[in-house]
A and B are shown apart, each in its own frame.
Chain A
Amino acid sequence: MSITTFLQHCLTGISLGGAYGLIAIGYTLVYGILRLINFAHGDIFMMAGYFMIFALASFPWPIAIVITLVITTVMGVVIERLAYKPLRSSPRMSIMISAIGVSYLLQNLATYLFTAIPRGYPEIPLLKRIFRIGELSASLVTLMTPVLTIILVALLILLVNKTKTGMAMRAASKDFETAKLMGININRVITVTFAIGSLLAGIGSILYFTDRMSVTPFSGTLPGLKCFVAAVFGGIGNIPGAVIGGFFIGIVETLLVALGYSTFSDAFTFLLLIVMLLVKPTGLFGEKTVEKV
């Protein structure tokens, strides 16, 4: 592989990784507070893809993007209200099964509404404009994704560290029960968390599908699981960690595909997960917790 092709693949990988990072944040935030692997998160990301297809059919793209993001955010919050909130005091297994159930429902709903045949993802001409840097060429979306990801993460970290809502989120993730006793409106915190997670998944969806051109009801499953792995890799609950995990997985996956091991690119992610859980279960940047007897 020549240097140019290598760099070209890296660029693609970084772009994919950026989208992964944005989705991974949703997992990390929710897990941080509810200790729940939100299996439906990948499907929210898939649904956002369909929303964009329909929004773009009748609106100019800036409005379509806003509509897509609003609907996606509302969907994330509604799912939490309907499917997770009633189970908040149940064993963790029940709420995880509920998440799997929601994922199943969204996939079946998408198959019913939009059929299982892949739908073409509309092109936004501006995003697809090709840039050339030396011998490398890339579309605007490829170049924009990592930059946008980093800006969004910086904003999110600012929100978490500097605002009152952010403080409430941190308190809830440290100790759910005590935070409740301290008068933090836990329902509001959870709503905000799901809203942020879904919003970022919506943005990630636009960036991801613009590069991939088609959506199916099952497009969300594997990217979703990979992003959860990214979150675990970076240390669950840690926002920059999730993004770094996303970038890492995106780059390695792209390189594996380039080397002709495309069937193993998914397996790699899960192997990474298992190795990580065994060697350093708290992830790269996670905090250690002592379990009490």
Chain B
Amino acid sequence: MHTRRNTILTIISAALLVGLLYWLHFNRTGNGMLISILQKSAILALVAVSMNLLNGFTGLFSLGQAGFMSIGAYVTAILLIPVSSLEGVYYMSGVHPSIRVFKVFLGSLPPWFQSLYPFFALILGASIAAIIAAIVGVAVLRLKSDYLAIATLGLSEIIRAIFSSPQLDGVTNGSYGLNKIPGFPKMFGGLVPSLVTPFVISAICIMLIVMLIRSSYGRAFLAIREDEIAAEAMGISLFKHKSVSFIISSFFSALAGGLLAMYMRSIEAKTFSIALTYDILLIVVIGGIGSVTGSVLASFLVTASKEWWLRFFDQPLDLFGWQVPLFKTGFRMVIFSILLMVVVLIYRRGLMGTNEFSWDRILGRFKRRKNAKGGA
């Protein structure tokens, strides 16, 4: 067994990652692009993993992620916008008095609370989403695969319509959206600089999801994915376990939504359209449905290639005076969609299939390659 070696390798790579993040913290100028992409990837990784918990591990095809993210994002944003900025943000219709009162009350709580306030906002948003998921789950989780997909998609659109409705102008600022949202907070009294915060939160949450998946309850989810009827015959309550999976997935999606609000500094209902859910689904598919590490890897690869590596496709390309055709705005996304279809149709297992990342596998591959070379 190589357990010791693997632990050492894991610790080394984690240390390298942390080192990179702190290095970026001290060298922020000039690395804005990289920082922004990494932060976005970390947030999307959390959503992708929580979607995978439902789609990949419990076999429930849900397309409601964007809706739950928007709940987290709006709650976090409303709570975090400084009271002094309220007038400016709600310049059209004014803020609802109860929100102001609530915020002023929270502002009067003792200092220890104030230092935890951003996290309180994130968790409150996530909890509200979880409660809504619990209520809605009673109704929609009875539905079979594709009906569940379209019902959760519809739910997400309903939530979006509510947030952008003029009747809620005083709360969500309707179609104008919210801005002046403070960025990421520091953690542990400054030990974790604000730049690193999204990574820490995302990592903790993903770890929690992994621990759940590996527990007895996680195994029950797998059983439901494999065969609902057999799982039920083995004494696994479908309703209870599906609800738990749905609620937890919604909780973490909403938490990531809150992080997204901090990342973007301004949000509007349009941000959380069906397209966002599709983007996350694509990450899950490319990473491998049923693989946590796959989702994490894919969210970094997909975000980096979409926002960075494939950028050049969108620029006109001049090769020795010859204007290469096709290269113009939007080409990058076409290439990206074609890559996705290739994964869907040909490499159906995605990056990882249902496997998880393991050192043995990576090193094993190297060895095999060496041996193959030696033999030839």
Let me know if A158 is at the binding interface, CB within 8 A. Answer: no
Give the total of B residues in contact with A, Cβ under 8 Å: 45
5 examples of A-B residue contacts, CB within 8 angstroms: A94-B348, A104-B282, A108-B333, A111-B330, A263-B165
Contact B282 A98 (CB under 8 A): no
New contact pairs (13) apart from A229-B154, A270-B155, CB-CB < 8 Å:
A37-B150, A90-B348, A93-B55, A93-B289, A97-B344, A100-B281, A104-B340, A105-B341, A232-B150, A267-B157, A270-B153, A270-B158, A277-B143
Contacts of A270 in B (CB 8 A): 153-155, 157-158
A87 partner residues in chain B, CB cutoff 8 A: 344-345
Smallest Cβ-Cβ distance to B153: which chain A residue? A225
- What separation, in Å, do the CA atoms of A112 and B329 have in the docked complex? 6
A273 interface residue (CB < 8 Å to B): yes
State the Cβ distance, B285 to closest chain A Cβ, in Å.
6
Question: In the complex, are the beta carbons of B139 and A278 less than 8 A apart?
Answer: yes
Which residues of chain B from 130 to 150 have a CB within 8 Å of any chain A CB?
139-140, 142-143, 145-147, 149-150
B338 within 8 A of A: yes
Cβ B331 vs Cβ A112 within 8 A? yes
Interface residue A221 (Cβ < 8 Å from any Cβ of B): yes
- Chain A residues with CB under 8 Å of B333's CB are 108, 111-112
Residues 68 to 103 of chain A near chain B (Cβ within 8 Å)? 82-83, 86-87, 90, 92-94, 96-98, 100-103
Instruction: Report yes or no: A92 in contact with B145, Cβ–Cβ below 8 A.
Output: yes
Let me know if A257 is at the binding interface, CB within 8 A.
no
Which of A90, A102, A263, A267 is in CB contact (< 8 Å) with B341? Answer: A102
Q: Which of A35, A115, A225 contacts B146 (CB 8 A)?
A: A35
Interface Cβ pair total, 8 Å cutoff: 121
Chain B residues with CB below 8 A from A109, complex form: 334, 337
Residues of B within 8 A of A293 (CB): 229
- Say if the beta carbon of A264 comes within 8 Å of chain B: yes
Interface of A is mostly: helix
Q: How large is the interface on A (under 10, 10 to 19, 20 to 34, 35 or more residues)?
A: 35 or more
CB atoms of B61 and A105 under 8 A apart: no
Contact with A along B47-82 (1 / 0, CB 8 A): 000000001000001000000000000000000000
Contact A97 B345 (CB under 8 A): no
A103, closest chain B residue (CB): B278
By CB atoms of chain B within 10 A, which of A90, A94, A100 has the most? Answer: A100
Measured between beta carbons, the chain A residues less than 8 angstroms from B274 are 221, 225
Nearest CB in chain B: distance from A24 CB, A: 13
Bound CA–CA A109/B336 (angstroms):
11
Measured CA separation A58–B220 after assembly (Å): 61
Tell whether B328 is near chain A: CB-to-CB under 8 Å: yes
Chain B residues with CB under 8 Å of A36's CB are 146
Chain A 259-293 interface mask (CB, 8 Å, partner B; 1/0):
00101101101110110011001000000000001
B161 touching A264, Cβ below 8 Å = yes
Q: Please give me the residue from chain B that is nearest to A104 by CB atom.
A: B337
Chain B nearest CB from A44 CB (Å) reads: 15
**Cα–Cα, bound, A35→B348 (Å):** 20
B336 touches A112 (CB 8 A): no
- In the assembled complex, the CB of B112 is this many whole angstroms from the nearest CB of chain A, namely 41
Residues of A within 8 A of B281 (CB): 97, 100
**Does B162 reach chain A (CB closer than 8 Å)?**
yes
Which residue of chain A has the shortest Cβ distance to B136 in the bound complex? A274
Any B CB within 8 A of the CB of A228: yes
B146 touches A228 (CB 8 A): no
A281 near B143 with CB under 8 A, answer yes
Interface string of B294-336 (1 = CB under 8 A from A): 0000000000000000000000000000000000111101101
